[in-house]
Amino acid sequence: MKSRFAASLDLLAVSILSAGFWNPNAARAADTYVPFEGETTPWHDGFDRYYYLMDEEIFAIMPFKRPNTEKFAVGKPPTGQRRCIVVVPKQPVPGNPWSWQACYWHHEPQTEVELLRRGFRIAFITPDPGKQWDAWYAWLTEKHGLSQKPAFVGMSKGGVNEYAWAIENPDKVACIVGRNPALRSLMSKTSPLENLSPLAKAGVPLVHVCDQTDPWFNDQTKVVEQGYKELGGQIVVIINQNDARYPIAAADQTRVVDFIVGKTK
């Protein structure tokens, strides 16, 4: 039986021969949009959804045949791999804008569906942030020519993920949308203002969409709202009129999507 290292070398060799190979140390920016490759299945209104696996050690990204039992959802990745998804619009708009979903793929996807209708691409990679996320971003922007500043959309734990990556990469984010976002990582250090400062300096606008029973609203979203405004940053807080325990996206996503579209131009 092959060792993990030997298996990784085999995957690397196959990847070099594949049009889908990408290496973060040898990448170059794509001059134009490069279509995605691999098997697709329809996702909401018939949008094409592509599947990939990323090797966590060498960052090779390869097409993946998903199990039929997954339907619209995404399953647990194999050990040492990250599951990756790209959904493409039927009528892309100029500039190749895209939205990065941070966690809980397919739960309340109204925002993503509306963005697809407006010509955005949607991307997802298994959490949590790290070098794998850096490689995913670079593969999408440098190999496939997507825009340099995606909109980040995350709910609950996805809020932790999106903020963590964006704070380390504030020049690579157009805006952040949090739905009942859990932001404990921002609150755990000396000052939330220190954590938010890179985003404010980069002019990254924030939107938090919170349900009436959002358990993190008072001690997290309100703290972020006050602190971000003190830093001179732009933040909008929207309260949904429902009492759901888990994030529920309103059927009409016009306000949120209008915000995203306006910030990604």
Domain assignment present for residue 2? The answer is no
Domain of 248: which CATH number? 3.40.50.1820
Give the span between the Cα atoms of 9 and 6, in whole angstroms.
5
Distances (CA, A) of 48 to 81, 105, 111, 171, 179: 23, 15, 17, 29, 25
In this predicted structure, the answer to whether residue 55 has a pLDDT above a threshold of 80 is: yes
pLDDT at 188: 62
Provide the residue range defining the domain that includes 141. 36-263
Domain assignment present for residue 139? The answer is yes
AA letter at 223 = V
Interstrand relation of 47-55 and 81-88 (parallel, antiparallel or unpaired): antiparallel
Domain assignment present for residue 23? The answer is no
Distances (CA, A) of 265 to 49, 101, 136: 24, 19, 22
In this predicted structure, the answer to whether residue 7 has a pLDDT above a threshold of 50 is: no
- Sign of torsion, CA 41 30 205 185? positive
pLDDT at 125: 96
pLDDT at 71: 78
Length of the chain counted residue by residue = 265
pLDDT at 69: 83
**Residue 72's pLDDT band (cuts 50, 70, 90):** confident
Domain assignment present for residue 113? The answer is yes
In this predicted structure, the answer to whether residue 190 has a pLDDT above a threshold of 80 is: no
233: helix, coil or strand? coil
In this predicted structure, the answer to whether residue 4 has a pLDDT above a threshold of 50 is: no
pLDDT at 121: 98
Give the span between the Cα atoms of 188 and 182, in whole angstroms.
12
Nearest CA to 175 out of 146, 152, 154 is that of 152
Domain assignment present for residue 17? The answer is no
144: helix, coil or strand? coil
Domain assignment present for residue 90? The answer is yes
Query: In the chain, how many domains are there?
Result: 1
Nearest CA to 37 out of 29, 48, 25 is that of 48
Summarised one tens digit per residue, pLDDT across range 92-114 is 999 999 999 988 888 889 999 99
User: What's the mean per-residue pLDDT of the chain?
Assistant: 85
Q: What is the mean pLDDT of residues 259-265?
A: 91
pLDDT at 124: 96
Q: What is the mean pLDDT of residues 13-19?
A: 36
Summarised one tens digit per residue, pLDDT across range 211-261 is 888 888 988 999 999 999 999 999 999 988 765 555 555 656 899 999 999
pLDDT at 18: 39
pLDDT at 51: 95
Q: Tell me the pTM.
A: 0.85
Give the span between the Cα atoms of 238 and 179, in whole angstroms.
9
In this predicted structure, the answer to whether residue 31 has a pLDDT above a threshold of 50 is: yes
Domain assignment present for residue 46? The answer is yes
Summarised one tens digit per residue, pLDDT across range 115-133 is 999 999 999 999 999 999 9
Domain assignment present for residue 146? The answer is yes
Summarised one tens digit per residue, pLDDT across range 152-163 is 999 888 999 999
Summarised one tens digit per residue, pLDDT across range 158-186 is 999 999 999 999 999 999 999 989 887 77
pLDDT at 11: 40
* Long-range Cβ contacts of 126-132 (<8 Å, 24+ apart): 126/74, 126/77, 126/82, 126/83, 126/84, 127/102, 127/103, 127/157, 127/158, 127/161, 128/161, 128/164, 129/161, 129/164, 129/165, 129/168, 131/59, 132/54, 132/56, 132/59, 132/82
Q: What is the mean pLDDT of residues 57-82?
A: 89
